[in-house]
Chains A and B, each alone.
Chain A
Amino acid sequence: MLTIKENLMETINGGNPDRFVKQFEFMDIIYETPLDRFCEPGKEVTNNWGITFRWPEGQIGQFPVHDDEHKVLKDITEWRKYVKAPVITTADEDWAAAVKHANSVDRSEKFATAFYAPGIFEMTHHLMGMEDALTAFYEEPEAMHELIDYITEYELAFANEIVNRLHPDAVFHHDDWGSQRSSFMSPAMFEEFILPAYKKVYGFYKDNGVELIVHHADCYAANLVPYMIEMGVDIWQGVMTTNNTPELIKKYGKQISFMGDLDSGVIDFPDWTQEIIDREVERACRNCGKLYFIPCLTQGGDYSSFPGVYEAVSESIGRMSKKMF
């Protein structure tokens, strides 16, 4: 029987896996990295960029607040006046928990995985709101290029600390690039603004010993896959069924693998049932096949919104492995 790590590599390299990869099992994700302040349920927090997030009771995540009072970037043409990158901590004590975690990972079995969020596109709309950001790509392209360069430089500096301190084998990086049915921007606009930034960031990680780039985007982004390949993504996590995953695997499987096809919205809700999970897992596994595919909830982490769902999905994948391998 292959180890978890070997089985993953066989799957994404088109070899001979002996079972399905169970969701995030191959990544030991180091969430302790001193990234920024994240909001807790029922609370409000202003992070180091000045962006205010709220997490109202009963919701499943935090949301940036963009009323006139809270919007950080009020005028893209004057972004330098409004946007100040935080100082990246180099204090050993701030990194101690992450370093301890990284050192504890059995790297023969799993990938020690650095976590990074929010992504570069997400940062633009966290700073100024989605409508302003999307309009600015069109109306103030120069300023947007400058702002993206600024955010990218910050991320590269942070990546440098991550690499030097954690020596990760993989990076799990968030950046949602679309809605469930469409990418937010055209492929041409993505190529102009977003691709160069990620070529720098993912290129830096690859040049510094990172073997796997796992990019999270739980949306439609089938039209952006060629750019994901170009920027160095090895696994696209969060691929929703609206992308026609089997078709993507057929077209791009040898260059990138797809992790998802189990839409969290369909499976992960308060009255979830084993029947729905089994139905969806079987559909995904049979349609997508054994290679270049990792069945996984589309949510961006090794957990579910409602208790028990993540574990039940993993068990269901185990049963499908017995049927199909």
Chain B
Amino acid sequence: MSTDLINAIADMDDVKAVELAEEMLQKGSNPLEILSGCQQAMEIVGKRYENKEYFLPELILGGEILKKISQVVKPKLETERSEDKKLGKIVFGTVAGDIHDIGKDIVVFMLEVNGFEVHDLGVDVPSEKFVEKIKEVNPDIVGLSGFLTFAFDSMKDTVDAIKAAGYRDKVKIMIGGGTVTEDVKDYAGADAFGEDAMAAVALAKKWVGVEQNVK
């Protein structure tokens, strides 16, 4: 049953979750329904994280379970449908002058396991590299990460470069990192800021028109 699968993932029972997914496939369940159950489970995990019932290990492990189930389910999906499953494209990176990667890596990971195609440019990324990648992959969203206070200027420079290249009205821009606030968002000229990985996922889903199911 899908509810059992959702509970197994949400309760971090990785072995049971994968077994249930395999069992459901054998009994003829639609692979897309299984993946949809996984998404619901991750939303529960995200909610528990926000409520401080769960912490980073659970967030990461939940993503790992989702990856394992995806590996089981994907061969059963038609290739093109599997590709269609991506919710949207995101170009992501830590801005120039800042090399913090832990927070950025976790956000990228969570966006990927939640169904986004993420192009991770790494750390200390110059604004022109963001522009190049936007030109190449035509993303829906750009994510700028920065932990240091002097990353704020780099965020602004990057947004300005995207604007100058003529892509500003084609992408939504989110920023995040240790000391980022609403004021920094306004200063940089971004569309929104996220406090953590789950906030980034919620924001990205909202921007591509996918509603979160769990309250």
B150 to chain A: closest CB distance in Å?
6
A182 to chain B: closest CB distance in Å?
6
Contact of B214 with A by CB under 8 A: no
Contact of B120 with A by CB under 8 A: no
Instruction: Please state if B64 and A135 are interface contacts (CB–CB under 8 Å).
Output: yes
Instruction: Please state if A265 and B57 are interface contacts (CB–CB under 8 Å).
Output: no
Instruction: Please state if B103 and A179 are interface contacts (CB–CB under 8 Å).
Output: yes
- Which residues from 95 to 111 on chain B have a C-beta closer than 8 Å to any C-beta of chain A? 97-103, 105-106, 109
Contact of A60 among B56, B57, B148 (CB under 8 A): B148
Contact of A134 among B52, B60, B98, B100 (CB under 8 A): B60
* Chain B hits for A185, CB < 8 A: 55-57
A186-B196 contact given A56-B124, A265-B179, CB 8 Å threshold: no
Chain B count of residues within 8 A CB distance of the other chain = 29
A56 to B102, CA, bound (A): 16
B45-61 near A? 1/0 per residue, CB < 8 Å: 00000001011111011
A60 to B178, CA, bound (A): 15
- Which residues from 201 to 223 on chain A have a C-beta closer than 8 Å to any C-beta of chain B? 223
Contact of A56 among B57, B99, B196 (CB under 8 A): B99
A265 to B179, CA, bound (A): 7
Contact of B102 among A60, A130, A189, A223 (CB under 8 A): A130
Main secondary structure of the interface of B (DSSP, over half): loop
Instruction: Please state if A135 and B55 are interface contacts (CB–CB under 8 Å).
Output: no
Residue of B nearest to A184 (CB): B56
Contact of B12 with A by CB under 8 A: yes
* Chain B hits for A223, CB < 8 A: 52
Instruction: Please state if B148 and A131 are interface contacts (CB–CB under 8 Å).
Output: no
Contact of B149 with A by CB under 8 A: yes
Contact of A100 with B by CB under 8 A: no
Instruction: Please state if A59 and B99 are interface contacts (CB–CB under 8 Å).
Output: yes
Contact of B186 with A by CB under 8 A: no
Contact of B195 with A by CB under 8 A: yes
A186-B55 contact given A56-B99, A138-B12, A139-B61, CB 8 Å threshold: yes
Instruction: Please state if A182 and B52 are interface contacts (CB–CB under 8 Å).
Output: yes
A196 to chain B: closest CB distance in Å?
18
A56 to B101, CA, bound (A): 13
Instruction: Please state if A134 and B196 are interface contacts (CB–CB under 8 Å).
Output: no
Residue of A nearest to B148 (CB): A60
A137 to B58, CA, bound (A): 10
B109 to chain A: closest CB distance in Å?
7
A180 to B181, CA, bound (A): 13
B125 to chain A: closest CB distance in Å?
13
Residue of A nearest to B179 (CB): A265
* Chain B hits for A180, CB < 8 A: 178-179
B40-81 near A? 1/0 per residue, CB < 8 Å: 000000000000101111101100100000000000000000
A138 to B58, CA, bound (A): 8
Instruction: Please state if A265 and B105 are interface contacts (CB–CB under 8 Å).
Output: no
Instruction: Please state if A138 and B99 are interface contacts (CB–CB under 8 Å).
Output: no
* Chain A hits for B148, CB < 8 A: 59-60, 265
Residue of A nearest to B61 (CB): A138
A52-64 near B? 1/0 per residue, CB < 8 Å: 0010101110010
- Which residues from 120 to 156 on chain A have a C-beta closer than 8 Å to any C-beta of chain B? 130-131, 134-135, 137-139
- Which residues from 18 to 56 on chain B have a C-beta closer than 8 Å to any C-beta of chain A? 52, 54-56
A261 to B60, CA, bound (A): 30
Contact of A184 among B55, B97, B109, B195 (CB under 8 A): B55
26 A-B pairs whose Cβ atoms sit less than 8 Å apart in the complex: A56-B99, A58-B97, A59-B98, A59-B99, A60-B148, A63-B101, A130-B56, A130-B102, A130-B106, A131-B60, A135-B60, A135-B64, A138-B61, A179-B103, A180-B179, A182-B55, A182-B56, A182-B196, A183-B55, A184-B57, A185-B57, A189-B57, A265-B179, A266-B149, A266-B179, A269-B149
A→B interface (CB under 8 Å): 54, 56, 58-60, 63, 130-131, 134-135, 137-139, 179-186, 189, 223, 263, 265-266, 269-270
Minimum-distance CB pairs A-B, first 7: A265-B179, A269-B149, A134-B57, A186-B55, A130-B102, A138-B57, A138-B61
